[in-house]
Chains A and B, each alone.
Chain A
Amino acid sequence: MNLFSLFRNFFRKGERSSQIAKSRLEIMLKHDRAELTRSEMMEMMDRILMVLRDYVSYDRNRVEMKVKREKGETFLFISVPVIGKPSSRSLER
């Protein structure tokens, strides 16, 4: 990297366009691979998390979903950082 591009990158505002491309692709392919629209996927996540809420408490902001494809099969991965027991267990009724 020459001095000029170093200088320019340093002062460049915002994200690089390649990073924008990558994150757009990641989102696009999640929907393409799972064959779920954005709203379907959000609805599914909400329903899954609603069930989980009865058993564990978790960090909503760090919930992640990935869709991977392997040998012609599609796998959904949902990672939920568990903090502990739910504060009020609706199970104990």
Chain B
Amino acid sequence: MGEVYVITSGKGGVGKTTVTANLGIGLALRGSRVVTIDADIGLRNLDVVLGLENRVVFNIVDVVEGNCRLEQALVRDKRVENLFLLPAAQTRTKEAVSPEQMIEVCSKLREVFDYVLIDSPAGIEAGFRNAAIGADKGIVVTTPEVSAVRDADRIIGLLEAMGKGTPQLIINRLRADMVERGDMLGVRDVLDILAIPLLGIVPEDEEVIVATNKGEPVILRENSEASKAFKNIVARLEGEDIPLLEFSPKKDAGFLGKLFKLFGGR
């Protein structure tokens, strides 16, 4: 039986879809069978970030309405074996899939896959609840900004109230230079406030934008900070004990040294 994760944030634009795509590829690269679900019905994006938009034939709404079988709607990744995408519908609304149908889709997929990763829409309404309802646990993505952290706190409370346990946190788009000069919330600040376990830190990296432009998630690139960060998160998800500070082994003291400062010298 596979594990079902919902990747969520409350606030839009913090990188849920990027995280889902990269974790999906990373887990599949390590040999797991992975399916990613785009639960953002009406505003589908995961297919684009994964570079699979031209391969989409059916979607999750077709599955629940009986227009196709579940297997027919799954898009196989072109680069990585064992990675699949269940796309969202672009021309429908969130109501097109009911909570019961979402639970059923998740329970069917977990029989075949080791990991089911659900990319949640922004917000705290029906779309989010639908995305979370079939999941075992949550991964909350935030950026070190006041608005994103506030919304993350709200989402953490909702996930706990839904009985999904305490979610794990990914802090995305961290800028070490800004933290160092005291102009961005540091890792310690965010953890003090949200008080949930940290799954990983992803530094701000231009390569992520280049990767999205090309539809080739950044984790597939060798020499990028964000790629290393995502690989470490994937390893932690698989139970490896990877120290948080070691994701950026640069030769000079630069980035690693700065990271130490982010933790307040810990």
A interface residues with partner B (beta carbon < 8 Å): 1, 5, 8-9, 16-19, 21-22, 24-26, 28-29, 32-33, 68-69, 71-72, 74
Residues of chain B with a CB closer than 8 A to A72's CB: 157, 160-161, 163
Q: A29-B150, A69-B157 are in contact. Are A22 and B193 (CB under 8 A)?
A: yes
Closest 10 CB pairs of A and B: A16-B182, A72-B160, A72-B161, A21-B146, A22-B189, A17-B183, A18-B182, A18-B185, A29-B153, A21-B185
Among A25, A33, A74, max chain B CB count under 10 A is at: A25
Residues of chain A with a CB closer than 8 A to B212's CB: none
Please list 20 pairs of residues, one from A and one from B, whose beta carbons are closer than 8 Å in the complex, sorted by A's number: A1-B261, A5-B180, A5-B181, A8-B181, A9-B182, A18-B179, A18-B185, A18-B186, A21-B145, A21-B146, A21-B185, A22-B189, A22-B192, A22-B193, A24-B146, A28-B150, A29-B150, A33-B157, A71-B160, A72-B163
CB nearest to B153 among chain A residues: A29
Q: How far is the CB of A38 from chain B (nearest CB, A)?
A: 15
- Would you call B161 and A17 a contact (CB within 8 A)? no
Q: How far is the CB of A13 from chain B (nearest CB, A)?
A: 12
- Would you call B184 and A26 a contact (CB within 8 A)? no
- Would you call B146 and A17 a contact (CB within 8 A)? no
CB nearest to A28 among chain B residues: B150
- In whole angstroms, what is the CA distance A1 to B257 when docked? 9
CB nearest to B146 among chain A residues: A21
Residues of chain B with a CB closer than 8 A to A18's CB: 179, 182-186, 189
Q: CB < 8 Å: which of A5, A8, A25 contacts B193?
A: A25
Q: How far is the CB of A34 from chain B (nearest CB, A)?
A: 11
- In whole angstroms, what is the CA distance A19 to B153 when docked? 18
Residues of chain A with a CB closer than 8 A to B193's CB: 22, 25-26, 29
- Would you call A32 and B150 a contact (CB within 8 A)? yes
Q: What DSSP secondary structure best describes chain A's contact surface?
A: helix
Number of B interface residues in the complex (CB < 8 A): 26
- B166, CB-defined interface residue at 8 Å: yes
Residue-wise, chain B 54-72 has the 8 Å CB interface mask toward A (1 for contact) of 0000000000000000000
Among B160, B182, B183, B185, max chain A CB count under 10 A is at: B182
- Would you call B154 and A69 a contact (CB within 8 A)? no
Residues of chain A with a CB closer than 8 A to B145's CB: 21
- Would you call A16 and B183 a contact (CB within 8 A)? yes
CB nearest to A29 among chain B residues: B153
Q: How far is the CB of B149 from chain A (nearest CB, A)?
A: 6
CB nearest to A69 among chain B residues: B157
Q: A18-B185, A22-B189, A25-B193 are in contact. Are A33 and B153 (CB under 8 A)?
A: yes
Residues of chain B with a CB closer than 8 A to A17's CB: 182-183
Residues of chain A with a CB closer than 8 A to B186's CB: 18
- B156, CB-defined interface residue at 8 Å: yes
Residue-wise, chain B 124-155 has the 8 Å CB interface mask toward A (1 for contact) of 00000000000000000000011001100110
Residues of chain A with a CB closer than 8 A to B181's CB: 5, 8-9, 16
- B242, CB-defined interface residue at 8 Å: no
Q: How far is the CB of B90 from chain A (nearest CB, A)?
A: 33
